[in-house]
Amino acid sequence: MAIQGSNSSIAQRFESYQPSKSILVWACVATAVATMIIGFSWGGWVTGGTSRSAATTASDIARGELASAVCVEKFRAGADASQRITAFKALTDSYKKRQFVEEGGWATMPGQTSPDRLGAQGCATVLAT
């Protein structure tokens, strides 16, 4: 006993296939889910919260880099810069070096009342080299 349609080619079966509405809906749902999984896993998509967190981190790092550049310039601009750098390099602990920069006021940015911690750390790192 022959199965109906077994003599027809794959192309003919494909052309004559009539999917139901429920199969079309589920195919669309599966495609959407697969697209989201691939996008978030390998496509580099992120949520709004992750994006905000990355932007905040990037702005903090950029602010610290700018503050450290300003700090280094302020440190080296004074008349007694050679004496300060000698006193700074005599310190062995990185915490004390950062404290030295903070207490000297070089890490306090214009318009601020307290030193920028990331700027002071970056400034101390640059001055130590």
Tell me the pLDDT band of 14, cut-offs 50, 70 and 90.
confident
Please write the tens of the pLDDT for every residue from 53-73. Answer: 999 999 999 988 999 999 999
Query: Does residue 40 lie in a domain region?
Result: no
Q: Any idea what DSSP says for residue 43? A: S
Query: Does residue 31 lie in a domain region?
Result: no
For helices 81-90 and 48-77, the axis angle rounded to 10 degrees is 120
State how far the alpha carbon of 6 is from the alpha carbons of 9, 20, 46, in Å.
Answer: 8, 22, 48
Q: Any idea what DSSP says for residue 1? A: -
Query: Does residue 102 lie in a domain region?
Result: yes
Query: Does residue 97 lie in a domain region?
Result: yes
Domain count, the chain: 1
Please write the tens of the pLDDT for every residue from 27-56. Answer: 999 999 999 999 999 999 999 999 999 999
* pLDDT at position 5 over 70: no
Query: Does residue 45 lie in a domain region?
Result: no
DSSP letters of 79-109? Answer: TTHHHHHHHHHH---HHHHHHHHHHHTTTPP
Can you tell me the mean pLDDT for 79-87? Answer: 89
Computed over every residue of the chain, the mean pLDDT equals 89
Q: Any idea what DSSP says for residue 2? A: P
Query: Does residue 22 lie in a domain region?
Result: no
Domain span holding position 114: 63-128
| Residue 10: count of CB within 10 angstroms of its CB | 7
Query: Does residue 73 lie in a domain region?
Result: yes
The pLDDT assigned to 6 comes to 64
